[in-house]
Amino acid sequence: MLKKLAFLPVLFFVSGCSDSFSPDRPSLEGLLSAPEEVTIDGRKLTLETYLWRDLMPGVESGGSSLLALVRVTAVDQLLFPSTVDADRLWIVYQRAIWETGFSETINEGSYRQHQLSKMARGGPKWGPSVYVDVIVRIVHITGRRYLLRAARQPIGAAY
């Protein structure tokens, strides 16, 4: 019986490793092939990013970890749909992937009501002055999931 129980974690690990495309467990190829625009309920959505590291004196040795502000944008500039959220972020640098959830939703005021703004902290120390692909998982109230990508996004720095 004990040998069977010891085998269970291995079975779960192996069954969870899949290279097939899925918005829940995308492969590297799946992430890089995500569209740069999705249409949900007849509304087109795109992705804007602001990626940076703090390299100012007094910050931790080697500078801060990567910070990512992403904005899912309703192209029509109308109020962002309340039926849509973003719950996962992947940043791809060369073949390395940073995957994380969002630490907070940002309320940026009335001038950005057509956008959903989310923040992720604690990323790798890539860059600055390198380009990455940023992919966000969009979740519709019905449970349907979409991937949305912004290609070749620069990582900046505060000096």
pLDDT digits 0-9 by tens, 97-129: 999 999 999 998 888 999 999 999 999 999 999
Task: For residue 98, give its domain range.
Answer: 25-158
Answer yes or no: is 75 within a domain: yes
Mean pLDDT, rounded, for 76-98: 98
Looking at per-residue pLDDT, the higher value among 159 and 121 belongs to: 121
Answer yes or no: is 29 within a domain: yes
- CA-to-CA distance for 124 and 25, rounded, in angstroms? 20
pLDDT at residue 129, as a whole number = 95
Answer yes or no: is 18 within a domain: no
Query: Tens digits of per-residue pLDDT, 45-54?
Result: 999 999 999 9
- The model's confidence at residue 15, banded by pLDDT at 50, 70 and 90, is very low
Q: How many CB atoms lie within 10 A of CB 67?
A: 19
Smallest CA-to-CA distance from 117 within 47, 51, 40 is with 47
> How high does pLDDT run on average in the chain?
88
pTM of the model: 0.84
Answer yes or no: is 20 within a domain: no
Q: CATH code at 88?
A: 2.60.40
Number of domains in the chain: 1
Q: Work out the end-to-end distance of the chain between its first and last CA atoms, rounded to an integer number of angstroms.
A: 59
- CA-to-CA distance for 87 and 155, rounded, in angstroms? 21
Query: Tens digits of per-residue pLDDT, 132-146?
Result: 999 999 999 999 999
- Cα distances from 61 to residues 54, 64, 74, in angstroms, run 11, 8, 39
pLDDT at 20 over 80: no
- Cα distances from 15 to residues 8, 9, 11, 18, in angstroms, run 11, 10, 6, 7
Answer yes or no: is 6 within a domain: no
pLDDT at 8 over 90: no
Element (H, E) at 32: helix 28-32
